[in-house]
Amino acid sequence: MGRRNSSEQAWATGGMVFAATMLVMVGVWQVFVGIAAIADDGFLVAVRGYTYEIDTTAWGWIHIALGTLVIVTGFFLFTGAAWARGVGIALAAISAINNFIFLPYYPLWAIVVIALDVFIIWSLATVDTERLAARREVAAGGYYETPRSGERWPTNRPSTGRVDEPATAPAPEGITNTPPTGQR
């Protein structure tokens, strides 16, 4: 797998935040559809002779269970949990399959959710987590490097002493590599 350009990586990183947000929203929507299906059997009406015809109350419970799992996974994506990416991809795939089978009950809704699930899968699968982790480690090491300009800004975090920290090179006259400690 080759290196991605910064524009594609920006889309994937922004897409991961979008995917986490959309996982939470899709999960909430699925819970609401599930509640509606349980509360009113006439809310969902399938065409006759549909191969995957299931009782609407059963569809309601399926949507509530899946929606709850999707919401929890979306929140864990915001925390940066590594396992949440894989679970998010799997749940988005299950959600897409669920909504494909759900097409005759609510066609426009199912198509929108399938499209969102596809984007969620793409954005979670393409984000470069090593680059994100490296950016967090640099920030934790005492300096934050902006991705576009390469500028280094001091942070208030102590140095971790890691090997991948920026090397201390001789500074030009009048500039030091240490943050100021107070007034002189």
Is 107 in the same domain as 158? no
Give phi and psi for 78, each to the nearest 5: -65, -30
Tell me, what's the pLDDT at 138?
Answer: 47
Question: Residue 180: what pLDDT?
Answer: 60
Q: Number of structural domains, the chain? A: 2
Average confidence score pLDDT of the chain: 75
Are 17 and 74 part of one and the same domain? yes
Q: How far is CA 13 from the centre of its chain?
A: 9
Report the C-alpha gap between 21 and 40 in whole angstroms.
Answer: 29
Percent of the chain topping pLDDT 70: 61
Look at residue 128 and tell me whether its pLDDT is greater than 90. Answer: no
Q: What pTM was estimated for this model as a whole?
A: 0.64
pLDDT score, position 176: 56
Kindly state whether residues 139 and 123 are assigned to the same domain.
no
Residue 1 is assigned to a structural domain of this protein = no
Which position has the higher pLDDT, 7 or 12? 7
Is residue 17 in some structural domain?
yes
Is 133 in the same domain as 118? no
Lowest-confidence region among 57-61, 128-132, 144-148? 144-148
18, 77: one domain: yes
Average pLDDT estimate for 113-121: 92
* Contact (CB, 8 A) for 43 and 50: no
Give the mean pLDDT of 4-20: 70
State the pLDDT confidence band at 66, using cuts at 50, 70 and 90: very high
What is the residue type of 11?
Answer: W
State the pLDDT confidence band at 92, using cuts at 50, 70 and 90. very high
pLDDT at 130: 60
The residue ranking higher by pLDDT, 152 or 73, is 73
Quote the pLDDT of residue 158: 54
Q: Tell whether 102 and 175 lie within a shared domain.
A: no
Res 18: pLDDT: 83
Per the structure, the complete domain to which residue 163 belongs is given by 129-184
Question: How many alpha carbons fall within 13 Å on the CB side of residue 45?
Answer: 2
Residue 33 has pLDDT above 80, yes or no: yes
pLDDT digits (tens, 9 = 90+) for 46-65: 677 777 777 778 888 999 99
